[in-house]
Chains A and B, each alone.
Chain A
Amino acid sequence: MREQFESPIVLLGARLLSPYIMLFGIYVIFHGHYSPGGGFQGGALLASSIILIRISGGRIISRLQIREFFTTPLAAIGVIVYFLAGFVAVLYGGYFLDYEALPFPGDLSPAELRYYGILVIEIGIGIAVMAILVMIYDHMARGEDYV
């Protein structure tokens, strides 16, 4: 970012749009079992809402939302959620990523266990894709200043 200047109109429009895009992203992740959607699409929508604030507001305002050093651990958390969903199944006597062995509370049939297992990994995918797209944007925007 070589030149920076403030534009209140752009910032106001982005502030108006961004929460609704984020809400729609969360809806797409959690409603992916019943309609077109899922972790990848919802994560891309969440990332678009965050990048919208970062483009319109600049570095100082966007620091209030998600700080720049926080995106890399968040991406790792997303991958680890996916990996643990598979590894816990191994610990409980199933195959890797075999959701029928996951210890969810309650008396659930194998089909319902698979339902909740898919939901867990969709959340992991959503967090990871959101954090990685924001991470790529951050480092590209800052990398222009480095020589």
Chain B
Amino acid sequence: MFDFILGHYAYWLTIILLCIGLYGIMFKKNLVKKTIGLTILQISVVLFWVSIGSKWDATVPVRDPGIPTAEVANYLNPLPHTLMLTAIVVGVATLGVAFALLVATYNRYKTLDEEEILEQIQ
């Protein structure tokens, strides 16, 4: 039972983070708060990928001449780190696009509340 919890608690923490992000998206009326929730959801996915790439008794994926690379168990898996490295930068760029859209919305409607914008559209 203790081993089961030790092997799975990281998954549960990322699931809690994902639900916090979904809470922000579903319940908040302010569009900036919705965007913050979207970012928290994205960070939870990044943390999940990094957590499944880890390995007990292994070192970082930079080759050390004292540790042989022929034994795979000596090094962490570099593939999830690489994928998340690019995902973080693309996430920051698309977050910039989201905030640019929010600035344009505020310039036109003078509010960021969802319901007030819907009233002004109709």
Contact = CB atoms under 8 A, between A and B. Distances in A.
Given A34-B62, A35-B62, A40-B85, A136 B103 contact: no
Chain A's interface: helix, strand, loop or mixed, by majority?
A: helix
A16 B103 CA distance: 32
B68 interface: no
B121 interface: no
B103 A143 contact: yes
A143 B85 contact: no
A40 B86 contact: yes
Interface in A113-147: 129, 132-133, 136, 139-140, 143-144, 146-147
Contact of A129 (B60, B89, B99, B107): B89
A144 B103 contact: yes
B47 to A, nearest CB: 18
Contacts of A143: 100, 103-104, 107
B62 A36 contact: yes
B5 to A, nearest CB: 31
Contacts of A25: none
Interface in B6-40: none
A146 B100 CA distance: 12
Interface string B39-73: 00000000000000000000010100000000000
Contacts of B88: 40
B96 A136 contact: yes
B1 interface: no
Interface in A42-92: 44
A36 B60 contact: yes
Contacts of B89: 40, 44, 129
B61 to A, nearest CB: 9
Interface of B: 60, 62, 85-86, 88-89, 92-93, 96, 99-100, 103-104, 107
Given A140-B96, A140-B100, 11 more contacts: A36-B60, A38-B85, A44-B89, A129-B89, A133-B93, A136-B93, A136-B96, A143-B100, A143-B104, A144-B107, A147-B107
